[in-house]
Structures are given as structure tokens and as C-alpha cells.
Amino acid sequence: MSEHIVTSYDAELSRLNRMILEMGGRAESQLAAAVNAFSRRDATLAATIVRQDDYIDALEAEIDDFAVRLLALRQPFAIDLRMVIAAIRIASDIERIADYAANVAKRTIALTKSPPIGPEKVVPRISGMVEAMIRDVLDAFVERDVEKAHAVWRRDSEVDDVYTSLFRELLTYMMEDPRNIGPCTHLLFIAKNIERIGDHTTNIAETIHYLVRGERMVEERPKSDTSSFEVVAPASQGSAPEQGGES
């Protein structure tokens, strides 16, 4: 798209673009750092990450204010209007992503107080997948690349699969030894937080679709996290966790 007749308008829209990228980049680093703190069992680093979340909240507020200003003063139409709306939506998703990253850090602090348990190694794996999704979705945003956004969107089901299998594994640990329940619950929440980050990344992919194409994305949302439907049979009845519907 060519430039606006009023050049300061272009400058404002590219500033909005940069703000989104900065916020997205920071949220991605927060997640990477939180998982790093988790792997190293570093409570000090984790505490720093929790504190840094305020900065991302402030960025979201700044993007919101700037977007409202653009709406009021420029009264954008068409692609420009969609850009402003997309910025507000994406900033809100990134803010949630950063919140979840901070939550990972918080639970890491709690986890450092008990000895490590086996399934912890899954966390860097699932996080690596999600971090790559964030990077790619931000690239898709910069390049206004709908195909790339769709590809990120589809990858979310792999994250859900890893999460679901971790969920099952943790259930068996907890059933084996009730002393595992505390750390396993934290671990489960950490994994759940990261899985939720994947969901927000798919939201961003949908927003990119809207931004570029001007219409809502119609495909069914990939939802393969089936853990909400799991029921647990007590070990005394002699069976592993089974899958069934909630009643």
C-alpha cells in the first residue's frame, strides 16, 4: 500500500507497528527467561521476571492510548482502521501471554522449594514450541503474511497434545505418591500457562488474518487439549486414567 498524503499519519501507524513488535518481543523473552529460571531452579531470576511484568502492562496501556488517539484524531478507514483495531487486540493477547509467563515464574519460585520430579523436562520442550509460535506470529504480523499466520495457528494442536500427555503423566505421579501432589500441581499449572500462551498466539494469528483480509477467519479452532474431559479412576480400582465425558 502506498503512503498517505499526510506523512505524519504514516509515521503514527508505523509507530503503532513498532510498539506491538516491542511488546511482543518482550513477552517472548519473558517466557524464555521464565522457563530458563524454571530449568535452572533459579528463584532470583524468577522473581525478576515477575517484577518485569509491570513494564509489559504499561506497554499495553500505551498502545491502547495511542490507538484511541489515532481513532479520535485520524478517524481511520479500511486497512488503517483494521490496523488500529488489530493493534488493540494483539496488545491485549500479548499482555495475557506476558501474564502467563509471569505465572510460570511465580510457580517456579514455589517449585524450587521441593526436590525435582521427572516430568519437569517436558516444560522446556512445550515452551520451545510456544516461543517459536510467538516469534513466527510476530513475523507474520510484520510481513502481513496470512499463510504464515495460519501455519502458526495450526501448530497449536501439537502444543495441546504435549500438554495433554503431560497431564496424564502427572496424574500417575500423583497417584503413586501423594507427596508429589504439591510439585505436580505447580508443574501442571506451569504447563497449562504455557499451553494458554499457545492459544493467545492463535488469537494473534486470527487477528492477522482479519487485518490483511478484512474478514474473520472461519476455520474451526484447533482444540486438541482433551484434558478437561479426563476423569481419574483411583489406583485401588486398578486402572490408569481413563478418558470420558464430564457429566
Answer yes or no whether residue 2 interacts with another protein by CB under 8 A.
yes
Q: What are phi and psi of 116, to 5 degrees?
A: -60, 150
Nearer to another protein, 215 or 246 (CB): 215
**Residue 237 per-residue DSSP state:** G
Answer yes or no whether residue 8 interacts with another protein by CB under 8 A.
no
Strand ranges (E), the chain: 230-231, 242-243
HSE-up (13 A, CA, CB side) for residue 159: 30
Helices (H), 122-145: 122-143
Q: How near is the Cβ of 209 to another protein at its closest, in Å?
A: 12
Among 3, 220, 242, 246, binds another protein (CB under 8 A): 3
Residues 176-195 binding another protein (CB under 8 A) are none
Nearer to another protein, 11 or 61 (CB): 11
Binding mask 82-111 for another protein (x = CB under 8 A): x-----------------------------
Selection from 93, 205, 99, 214 nearest residue 145 by Cα: 205
Count residues contacting another protein (CB under 8 A)?
18
Nearer to another protein, 84 or 197 (CB): 84
Three-class secondary structure of residue 221 per DSSP: coil
Nearer to another protein, 15 or 121 (CB): 15
The C-alpha angle with vertex 152 and arms to 148 and 153, in degrees rounded to 5, equals 115
Residues 195-224 binding another protein (CB under 8 A) are 213-215
Q: How far apart are CA 58 and CA 35, in angstroms?
A: 23
Q: How far apart are CA 66 and CA 15, in angstroms?
A: 9
Among 44, 75, 228, 236, binds another protein (CB under 8 A): 75
Decide: 74 and 81 in contact? Cβ < 8 Å.
Answer: no
Q: How near is the Cβ of 24 to another protein at its closest, in Å?
A: 25
Among 72, 78, 178, 246, binds another protein (CB under 8 A): 78
Contact positions toward another protein, by CB under 8 A? Answer: 1-6, 9, 75-82, 213-215
